[in-house]
Structure formats: structure tokens, C-alpha cells
Amino acid sequence: MNRAAVLAGVGGFVPPRVVTNEELSRRLDTSDAWIRTRTGIAERRVVDAGTSTGDLAVEAGGRALKNAGADGADLVVVATTTPDRPCPATAPTVAARLGLAGVPAYDVAAVCSGFLYALQAGASAVTAGFADRVLVIGAESYSTILDPEDRTTSVIFGDGAGAVLLRAGQRTEPGAVLDVHLGSDGAMADLITVRGGGSEERSRGGTPRPENRYFRMDGKSVFFAAVRRMAESSRTVLARTGWEIEDVDRLVAHQANVRIIQAVAEQLGLPPERAVLNIERVGNTSAASIPLALADGLADGTLRQGDRVLLTAFGGGATWGSATLVWPGLPIG
């Protein structure tokens, strides 16, 4: 048997509170037209007080298990930039709340590429025989680390979670994770960062600078780096899979910015209508972005059984990655 990790279920969850562009424009120097033109975002979801990243992860993970008709998993991997606490990891608590206490569980920190890093970890655990079922979750509550006065980030990011269940199967099955390509460049660490709260700041002593607790991003530099790295990574994983670009039915890119997604499609020579988009309604949800798009694509019929799907993302670190799979037949609802 050519053992492989097979996508068996997906689930997504966003908090109920909607923050529209109009609401943001009442406290920031911006407008609905400005935000839509530059990002493609009309609204985003934000957690209420007392709701954590782990709460979102539990909801999405439970939905993925239900979608797969599964009663458990042998491993839980949570990708997040906004863990419930600096210590311990969020994943063990999520696993326990899902009734999976006792199974190994850990976090992955690769920012917007986090889900693909977690997917590779989960798929490798399956192919190595370490686990037969792996729950991979991307979850974020970015509203908790954004500077409310920073127009460049406050209009982009939203909160949410998405999850997939991987099961052991064969590479020839629909849903098999065919290949994953990952990369990083730490020289670009300052492009996307939260400078405070870690050992770098604490080891220097003195009074922490309040502004260092907030997320910061060099938007212009990120745009060009993201397009370049996502396109390069996509070409690499397609070549390793044995697909030509015209073989790709659906592009599920990290929902960073609609212009980035369009530019990546153009770089690859893919028609823009092949991109799966939900950024208009949820914004950039970082590590939750791709699995949320998969869940929405299943729900609205954009992703159909047999579609050859390319996943790709770029995030802080800098990190990037891509993956290929053939969409399986999953129940809707």
C-alpha cells in the first residue's frame, strides 16, 4: 500500500460579530471604497470579549470531525499566531475539549503559512505510520494583537478558524495530499512581526515599549515578496506532483489581499476565476485562511469532487508553502 494522508473532512467557524468597512471608517482615516479597492474586503469577523483562539479552534475542529463522520483523531496540530497563552501551547487544551485528551497535540507558528506547515506535519505523521487520523486546525484571533489606530492592519485582518481531518489512505484516492513544498527566509523577519513579549525584548531589560505588543507589517514589501514566493512555490509543487498549470482547476491561496491572489494567478498563468475567494466576507484570517476557504468552497459548491486543487500561502518568518490534492467527495452541511 502506498500510504498517504487523505482529506476526510473540513470545518470552518467565524465569530458572530461582524465589523464592516463603514464601522472602521468611523474611527479611522479610511472609507469603504478605499478598503475594497486595496484589499477586496467588505467586512471581517471579530471575537467578543472572553472568546479566545482556542474557542474558535474547538468549533472548527469539531465541525471537521463531524464532516468526516469521525469520532476522534490520533494527533492534533494547531497553527496559530495568536495562541491562548505564551505557555502552554493551545493545541493540548483544544484536544482535551474535543474529547481527545491523551493524544499528542502541539502548536505550529508560521503565521499565514501556518496551515500548510501544519498540513505537512500532519501528512508526514500519517505517511510515517505515527497516526491514522490527524486533526489539523488553523485558528486566529488577530483582533487581539492589532493596533486599533493602525489603518494598514486594522482593515485587513479578521478572526476565525478552519480545520481538516486527515486519514490514512492511498495516494491514488481523491483527497490524498500529493505533495507539499515549504520554505523560509529569516532575513525578512521584520516584514511581518510582533516585536514585544518574547525573549528578544525581555532579555534586554528595561521598560517594554507599549507599541511592541502590536502586530506590524510592511505592506508594500510583503506584497511583492508574497507574490514572488507563492508563485515560485506553486511552480515547484506542481512540478513535483507532475501537473501542468493548466491542470489546476482551483487555486486556494491564502486570503491575504485580493490583489495578491490575482497577481499570483497572473504570474502562474491561471485564469482569475479559478481562484477560490472568501476574503470579502472574512478578511485575512492568517493561519485560518486556507482551511476556512476550503470549508466555504465546499459549502457553496465552488470546490467539486475531482477538482485538482493548488494551495499556496506566504506569511511571517518569512515563510511560504504550497500543496496539491484532488478534491474528494465530502458531505455538505
Look at the block and give the residue holding cell 470545518: 11
| Contact (CB, 8 A) for 294 and 167 | no
| Cα–Cα distance for residue pair 191/27, rounded to 1 Å | 26
Q: Measured on CA atoms in the order 101, 103, 109, 113, is the torsion positive or negative?
A: negative
Q: 282 — alpha (psi -120 to 50), left (phi > 0) or beta? A: alpha
Local structure of residue 327 (DSSP, 8 states): P
d(CA 37, CA 158): 18
Rounded Cα distance, 111 and 89, in Å = 15
The radius of gyration of the chain from alpha carbons, rounded to an integer in Å, stands at 19
Region of residue 290 (phi > 0: left; psi between -120 and 50: alpha; otherwise: beta): alpha
- Contact (CB, 8 A) for 116 and 321: yes
Length of the chain: 333
CA 268, CA 10: separation in Å to the nearest integer?
Answer: 27
Listed residue (225, 234, 204) closest to 316, CA to CA = 225
Among left, alpha and beta (phi > 0; psi -120 to 50; other), residue 227 is alpha
Cα–Cα distance measured from residue 268 to residue 24, given in angstroms and rounded to the nearest whole number: 34
Contact 253, 264 (CB under 8 A): yes
Q: What letter represents residue 241's amino acid?
A: T
**Known catalytic residues?**
112, 254, 284
